[in-house]
Amino acid sequence: MADGEGGIAPAEVDRPAIEAGEILVSVRASSANFGEVTDVLPGAPRGAVPGWEAVGTVLETGRAVSRLRPGDLVATLGEWGGWAEYRAVDERLAFRLPLHSSPTSMAVVGVAGGTAIRVIRRLGSTLGARVMVTGAASAVGVFAVQLLVMAGAQVVAVDRKPERHSRHRELGAEEVLTTPEENREPVEAVIDTVGGEVLVQAFRQLRANGRLIAVGHTARECEQFQPGDFEGDEGRYGRVIETMHLLQDDPRRSLVDDIEWLARMVDRGGVLTPEILVQEKSSFASTVTLQPRPNGWVKTVFKVG
């Protein structure tokens, strides 16, 4: 649970009760996301149980639950509760996984993978489109590069560390840049996970009617646009910046369908996950962090059992 001082500490908490539309999950693995570590924990009251996503086995179902059954392996999403041994969650935020898949691998599919799918779906058809992904070494970036390639895009990956560029090419990126301003040909869309000056530079790379969708803000700095950045002269008209939220409705396809499809792809090896650092239950409380590694920001996963 949160210790009230910006960290977490092991503690005994009550097993949650479930409501009619909820399931009770015995958690086997949970992940630590950037926003939880940098935004949620510092202000979390003592006794709160953080955790946006967790994977586990369904133990009980509420009377209104119709899609899931006890024994199912599921990934779950929610604002709190993922870093506990038991979690109560709305059935609409639970996603059936291949029964024998790896809980630690699947623990990173919900937030990062789901965000990547949903932002690409917002872009519409990307067949032949030149699409830039900033923060390509992030968890969202790793998924986005691969999924864009599958959707027929020409991916321009942006990663400030040249030693990681070969990895992005292995995942399918046609070009890899250190900064967006190195780009020499306008792009039709940008998926930005960084914010700050990177977002500003990426916006300048958009062709007419291009779209930048912001899905993260790891830079932790203000966006400072310059005079002329929003001029709409020849080649720059119609450019837009959009925000999105993972749980917002999309009439084209449900979040359940998207994440369950991605889970099957990961289980078959058709989509690779970001690098995962597994922490056992006994050491998780003192090491919950997003640690820089040569291949990018590692996703820390809390292994419960």
Q: Strand 94-96 and strand 73-77: pairing? A: antiparallel
Average pLDDT of span 192-221 = 95
The residue whose two tokens read 């925000």 is 243
Which parts of 61-135 fold into alpha helices (H)?
103-106, 114-123
3-state secondary structure of 236: coil
Between 260 and 303, the more confident residue is 260
Across 63-67, 144-148, 157-161, 297-301, least confident range: 297-301
pLDDT of residue 290: 46
Type of residue numbered 37 = V
Average pLDDT of span 28-48 = 84
Q: Give the whole-angstrom CA distance, residue 162 versus residue 270.
A: 26
- Token pair belonging to 57: 């086995």
Task: List, in order, residues 6 or more apart from 271 with CB less than 8 Å away.
Answer: 113, 143, 146, 147, 262, 265
Across 4-13, 79-88, 261-270, least confident range: 4-13
Average pLDDT of span 204-216 = 96
Average pLDDT of span 41-48 = 83
Type of residue numbered 122 = R
Task: List, in order, residues 6 or more apart from 230 with CB less than 8 Å away.
Answer: none
Q: Give the whole-angstrom CA distance, residue 94 versus residue 297.
A: 26
Which parts of 158-254 fold into alpha helices (H)?
165-170, 196-203
Mean pLDDT of the chain: 90
**pLDDT class for 288, splitting at 50, 70, 90?**
low
Q: Distance of alpha carbon 104 from its chain centroid, rounded?
A: 15
Q: Give the whole-angstrom CA distance, residue 267 versus residue 101.
A: 6
Q: Give the whole-angstrom CA distance, residue 82 versus residue 276.
A: 17
